[in-house]
Structure 1
Amino acid sequence: MNPHDTIAIDELEKPYFVWFEDNWTHDDILHSHEKGQLVYVESGFQYITVDGKIYLLPQNHAAWIPPGSVHKTNTHSEKIKLMIMFADVDPDISFHQEIHVFSVPPVLKEMIKYAERWSKIMSKDPDEMLFLKALFNELPRFVEHSLKLHIRLPEDKRLSEPIGYLHNHYQEDIRIEDLSEISLLSLRTLERIFKKETGMTLSKYQQILRIIKSLELLSSGDLTISETAYQVGYKSVQAFTRSFRSVMQSRPTDFIKTTQ
């Protein structure tokens, strides 16, 4: 269930609202609300589009979505346990106005799970208010080493074909010359608008694409690390592990789906 289907978040007469679901489904519609939103993925993986950028939340990661940001959620996971909290926040604090994607430390994880007792409760509860005020007050400190794994959606229509090609052939060794032919743009023009629109070079963009796909495969639990490495285009497990660590600051083994 999606909370936006049944509850007008901004009409709630309480500063915080907790919504947890074992099997979350999505309406995939862009929307916004005045409350900020904390999204935590306990299991599975989640894509979030916020203000024209696609972010990936692997399991045990969370995202802070600022108030007023146009966003939508969607996932390819068969089953996803998602925990969402909405909060009124101080607009003068810069932290609240930026999106943050981060690995959830054990203390915050326990606080989020504890808050499940207030899931979907519409009435005000003094204990809930006190507890969640403490959680959101400490949130900036939990996010000091924020991981921003995202791909920006290009607005320049000239990139539509080359970006589409990249997403369909990310596991191949693609050169800028290949994309130049596809887009009918000169190398210099393509390099310039690619960097301007995506914020990264072709090689970095392809690396992020591969790591995102590998996270999907690892969290599904169907492939080994070795099989995943070759599936996303790496020639060796060592090369995959190096690339993965440089992007995620952690090892592929940390994201392998574990059975409960």
Structure 2
Amino acid sequence: MTRPAYSFVRTFPAEPERELCVDRHYLLCASAGVLRLEAQGQAWLLPPARAALIEAGRPIRVSIPQPVTTASVLFDAGFVPSPPAPLAVFDLNRLAGALLAECGSWGPSEEQLPRYAETLFAALAAVCWRLAEQPSPVVVPAGRSPELRRALRLTEQRLGDQARFEEIAEEVGLAPRSLARRFDDETGMTWRAVLRRMRILAAVEKLADDDLPITAIAFSVGYSSLSAFNAAFRDLTGRTPTQYRLSFRP
């Protein structure tokens, strides 16, 4: 009989986007590096000290832009309740981190879990299910139509180059008014609001990737002043870029 829950740690090389679907509820935690996750028309970044909770049987798209080390826990659907959302990315608190580390002693096996381990896994699920009710706001729409998905790709490629909406509309073959309507219909956001979120998402990735100065990161994602970058970053994440970077290294 397979264990009702088990843990494992793995390191993955950079990989292009692929589909992931498992038959258990999946708690995926990044300890080094960054993953990109996409589901239900939205895209998240999973940097260190963050976790993703994925409902069993829910296909998601995963890409690994840089090598990443993850600590994961798989929960049998009969052992824990369904997660509060098909996919949620959230900050790990100290209790969740300690429970995750303690659960690391029990990997995949046919041997029965001792009562102590079952209690630990149940406690980890209870804490993470609660945290998943307050997901990370650092999320961007993925788009449904081919035109909007291409417009999003072009926007992301030009974050540091003063992206222009009219040029992107021309390249995807739509009038600016038509593309603006696609953004409203498919994302509920304006192009400029999406651009702002993409810049913050790119900044989070750079904060996790290396020790570049905050000013260099701000300029690389399209901000012309550090104060404007800091204000936009704090407005979306609730923290300054420096505080966010420190949270990767508790």
State the aligned residue count. Answer: 247
Mark the runs of 5 or more structure 1 residues left unpaired by the alignment: 1-11
- 1:81 is aligned, of 53, 69, 92, to 69
- CA-based RMSD of the aligned residues comes to 2.7
- The 8 Å contact of residues 47 and 74 in structure 1, kept in 2 or not, is answered as yes
Matched to 1:183, the amino acid is V
- Counterpart CA distance in 2 for 1:256 and 1:96 is 28
- Counterpart CA distance in 1 for 2:61 and 2:141 is 14
Once the two structures are superposed, what CA deviation does each residue of 1:204-237 show, in whole Å capped at 9, x if it has no partner?
Answer: 1111111111112111224110111111111111
Cα 1:48–1:180, aligned 2, differ >3 Å: closer, same or farther? closer
Using the TM superposition, name which of 138-147 and 225-234 deviates more: 138-147
Partner of 2:102: 114
- Counterpart CA distance in 2 for 1:58 and 1:73 is 13
- 2:111 is aligned, of 109, 123, 126, to 123
SS at match of 1:30: strand
- Counterpart CA distance in 1 for 2:177 and 2:17 is 36
Counterparts of 1:32-181 in structure 2 under 5 Å? 32-78=21-67, 80-89=68-77, 95-126=83-114, 127-181=116-170
Q: CA deviation at 1:178?
A: 2.9
Cα 1:173–1:165, aligned 2, differ >3 Å: closer, same or farther? same
Q: CA deviation at 1:33?
A: 2.2
- The 8 Å contact of residues 38 and 64 in structure 1, kept in 2 or not, is answered as yes
Cα 1:74–1:121, aligned 2, differ >3 Å: closer, same or farther? farther
Matched to 2:66, the amino acid is S
- 2:175 is aligned, of 165, 186, 197, to 186
- Counterpart CA distance in 1 for 2:137 and 2:6 is 25
Cα 1:253–1:192, aligned 2, differ >3 Å: closer, same or farther? same
Once the two structures are superposed, what CA deviation does each residue of 1:111-154 show, in whole Å capped at 9, x if it has no partner?
Answer: 11111111344422123222101211232323343214223332
TM-score by length of 2: 0.86
Once the two structures are superposed, what CA deviation does each residue of 1:1-42 show, in whole Å capped at 9, x if it has no partner?
Answer: xxxxxxxxxxx7222121112x23468531322211011112
- Counterpart CA distance in 2 for 1:86 and 1:50 is 19
**Which has more strand, going by share of residues?**
2
Q: CA deviation at 1:241?
A: 0.8
Matched to 2:147, the amino acid is R
SS at match of 1:154: coil
- The 8 Å contact of residues 3 and 108 in structure 2, kept in 1 or not, is answered as no
- 2:6 is aligned, of 2, 12, 17, to 17
Query: Between the two proteins, what is the percent identity of the paired residues?
Result: 21
TM-score by length of 1: 0.83
Mark the runs of 5 or more structure 2 residues left unpaired by the alignment: none
